[in-house]
Copies of this chain bind each other. A is one copy, B any other.
Amino acid sequence: MAHAVVEYTDNLGPEACIPELLEKLGKKFGDSGGVFPVGGIRVRAICLTEYFVADGQGDDAFVNVTVLMGAGRTAEFKAKFFGEMFEIVKDHFAWLFERRGLALTLYVNEADEAGSFKHNNLHARLKARS
């Protein structure tokens, strides 16, 4: 499992290119040397229309990425992999970051195996496709 939720404020406008960002994040998960099976990748966005950022005085924007994955990866792997993923986020928004108030964050959470339930035909379908 490799879940990511991208919350973004709608004042970013179409320049945020969210579908492209989702694809970049999904492909990064897929490019993990098998740590994250492709069939378990689920990246999605939520567009925020009501928000209060910083002091509420500027037209400040933010993007917040929340990752959820199974426990068990090493601290080294996590620091490296999600550091790289965050660089992707920073690169994606570099142009906007130079031009407007913008805060980018990425948080990594781990799911407790005992409280995880799964049923998935994507792994089999991907195998059939390839």
Closest B residue to A118 by CB, please name it: B105
* CB-defined contacts of A101 to chain B, threshold 8 Å: 121-122, 125
* CB-defined contacts of A14 to chain B, threshold 8 Å: none
CB A21 to nearest CB in B, in angstroms, measures 9
Report whether A120 and B103 are in contact in the complex, using a CB–CB cutoff of 8 Å. yes
Size category of the binding interface on chain A:
35 or more
Q: Which residues of A contact B (CB under 8 A)?
A: 1, 3, 7, 9, 18-19, 22-23, 25-27, 30, 38-48, 50-58, 60, 62, 64, 67-68, 75, 78-79, 82-83, 86, 89-90, 97, 101-109, 111-112, 114-122, 125-126, 129
Among candidates B39, B46, B55, B64, residue contacting A103 with C-beta atoms closer than 8 Å = B39
Report whether B121 and A105 are in contact in the complex, using a CB–CB cutoff of 8 Å. no
Could you list some 5 contacts between A and B, CB below 8 A?
A46-B48, A47-B50, A78-B114, A107-B116, A108-B115
* CB-defined contacts of A43 to chain B, threshold 8 Å: 51-53
Report whether B114 and A79 are in contact in the complex, using a CB–CB cutoff of 8 Å. yes
Among candidates B42, B60, B115, residue contacting A51 with C-beta atoms closer than 8 Å = B42
CB A123 to nearest CB in B, in angstroms, measures 9
